[in-house]
Amino acid sequence: MSSLRNHDIPALRQLDVAHHLPAQSSYALQQELGGSRIITHAKGCTVTDGEGHSLLDGMAGLWCVNVGYGRDELAEVAYRQMLELPYYNTFFRTATPPPVELAARLAGLLAKAHGGELQHIFFNSSGSESNDTVFRLVRTYWMLKGQGDRSVFISRHNAYHGSTVASASLGGMDFMHVQGGLPIPGIEHVMQPYPFGEGFGEDPEAFAARAAQAIEDRILAIGPEKIAAFIGEPVQGAGGVIIPPPGYWQKVEAICRKYGILLVADEVICGFGRLGSWFGFQHFGFTPDIVSMAKGLSSGYLPISATAVSREIVATLRASGEEFVHGYTYSGHPVCAAVALANLDILEREDLIGRTARDTGPYLAAAMAERLAPHPLVGEARSLGLIGAVEIVAEKGTNRRHGGGGKAGPIVRDHCIARGLMVRAIRDSIVMSPPLVITHAQIDQLVDTIAAALDDAG
């Protein structure tokens, strides 16, 4: 135990190999590297590892630490709530104050963003669980409406909706489907709205129409009366920061309305300011029937997620008199909900979302346009708010990739880390999603480090 308290890093790395299976990892590589990188401290936008290296966190952890690290007030709220009531469940007609207050607070935020339809909140602990809730809720809704045949979900290739069986099935990542024999039946994947990858050189409006048409074509091929819902991330995050062309979401919404299909926005990354708006659907101007939220809801300080549901869905459940037989021990965990409330206070008090829209988001976009887009290895440097991607290509002016099937991204990422910047590689791209408290000087550091890492790799 003393090694843990004293952060004896060599011992921890040995224990990591001997006993710890980290998430989404190659255990061969973990062993080959002699253990994971152990992060021991963090403050603001900087994380520190056990060897004392400081890294600018260009990913906000895993797209989640929106208010930055080291917020005393979040720790104090957790401490006070743990002393007052560390846990009680929300099963069987009980509740505790924090989740009820948080539900009302989220309903208020959604009313401002959306117009008052999304007034009911179901809590879970993770984005994956939220999307599992969506899966069961949507099928239950249609069953109660007497339209049980409406059971098919439409999602996009390369979408990421989580890692549980249902959420990974909703996701469109083939390499995830291979493990576990996914997707489960009743889930269809259509093309993603990826202008650089699938609409290169195409007029954006024509590409938006083509990507939306692919959805309608699939609906018609299956039979509109069999389609329960369409689910999508406003900007696909883990798929490589895929920013859809203007008009795409309006077209998707119109298709869903035309055939009476529920529209689900997976806001697990986009929600709580990432795009410079409270929610991604606000930025793109569409109105979903269900919204999944996680990550920025608590800025990652504690695990909590929320599924917002329309009045119509809840009215149907109420009218049926049926129980919704779904929920988790930690649905509406009081400490997590109390921390989420305090996190929302910070986002509002410091106007971090307005600042992203007006100041830091445009500053990042300008720096990327000036210092990354012209680089000979860069095919495209794009961003929206404080999320962005740099596409690495073999030939400037094209979207032609280097040989090696996606190795260029990890090479550049490793140079970034060696230079003190934590970013992530997704195939042949580098993606970024820093805390919303990032300063101009730190944005300069982020962009200049990626430029230098590209030089290293070139």
Pick the closer one to ligand PLP by CB: 16 or 266: 266
Closest distance of CB 417 from ligand PLP, Å = 20
Closest distance of CB 62 from ligand PLP, Å = 6
Closest distance of CB 160 from ligand PLP, Å = 5
Closest distance of CB 422 from ligand PLP, Å = 16
Pick the closer one to ligand PLP by CB: 293 or 372: 293
Closest distance of CB 233 from ligand PLP, Å = 4
Q: Is the CA virtual torsion 53, 55, 61, 64 positive or negative?
A: positive
Three-class SS state of 292: strand
Closest distance of CB 319 from ligand PLP, Å = 30
* Residues 6 or more apart whose Cβ sits within 8 Å of residue 248: 193, 208, 211, 212, 284
Cβ neighbourhood burial of 122 (10 Å; 0-12, 13-18, 19+):
buried
Closest distance of CB 395 from ligand PLP, Å = 31
Closest distance of CB 52 from ligand PLP, Å = 29
Pick the closer one to ligand PLP by CB: 140 or 158: 158
Spatial distance between the Cα atoms of 402 and 396, rounded to a whole number of angstroms: 11
For helices 361-371 and 440-457, angle between their N-to-C axes, nearest 10 degrees = 30
Give the DSSP H or E segment for 379.
Answer: strand 378-384
Pick the closer one to ligand PLP by CB: 152 or 231: 231
Three-class SS state of 152: strand
Query: Identity (one letter) of the amino acid at 330?
Result: Y
Closest distance of CB 324 from ligand PLP, Å = 20
Spatial distance between the Cα atoms of 387 and 59, rounded to a whole number of angstroms: 9
Pick the closer one to ligand PLP by CB: 268 or 453: 268
Pick the closer one to ligand PLP by CB: 233 or 380: 233
The residues pairing with 425 across neighbouring beta strands, listed in sequence order, are 430
Query: Identity (one letter) of the amino acid at 446?
Result: L
Pick the closer one to ligand PLP by CB: 171 or 379: 171
Closest distance of CB 373 from ligand PLP, Å = 26
Q: For residue 304, what are the CA distances in angstroms to 123, 330, 432?
A: 7, 9, 23
Closest distance of CB 268 from ligand PLP, Å = 3
Task: Indicate left, alpha or beta for 277 from its phi (over 0: left) and psi (-120 to 50: alpha).
Answer: beta
Pick the closer one to ligand PLP by CB: 426 or 453: 426
At residue 79, φ and ψ (nearest 5 deg) are -60, -50
Spatial distance between the Cα atoms of 63 and 300, rounded to a whole number of angstroms: 9
Pick the closer one to ligand PLP by CB: 92 or 175: 175
Alpha-helical (H) ranges within 122-189 are: 127-144, 165-170, 174-178
> Token pair of 12, please?
């921890």
Pick the closer one to ligand PLP by CB: 239 or 379: 239
Contact present, 224 and 188 (Cβ < 8 Å): no
β pairing state of 421-422 and 54-57: parallel
Pick the closer one to ligand PLP by CB: 60 or 446: 60
Pick the closer one to ligand PLP by CB: 194 or 363: 194
Closest distance of CB 266 from ligand PLP, Å = 5
Interface positions with ligand PLP (CB under 6 A): 126-128, 131, 160-163, 233, 237-238, 266, 268-269, 294
Spatial distance between the Cα atoms of 263 and 79, rounded to a whole number of angstroms: 38
Spatial distance between the Cα atoms of 22 and 363, rounded to a whole number of angstroms: 35
Spatial distance between the Cα atoms of 426 and 100, rounded to a whole number of angstroms: 38
Contact present, 428 and 391 (Cβ < 8 Å): yes
Closest CB to ligand PLP belongs to which residue? 127
CA angle (255 as vertex; 254, 260 as ends), nearest 5: 100
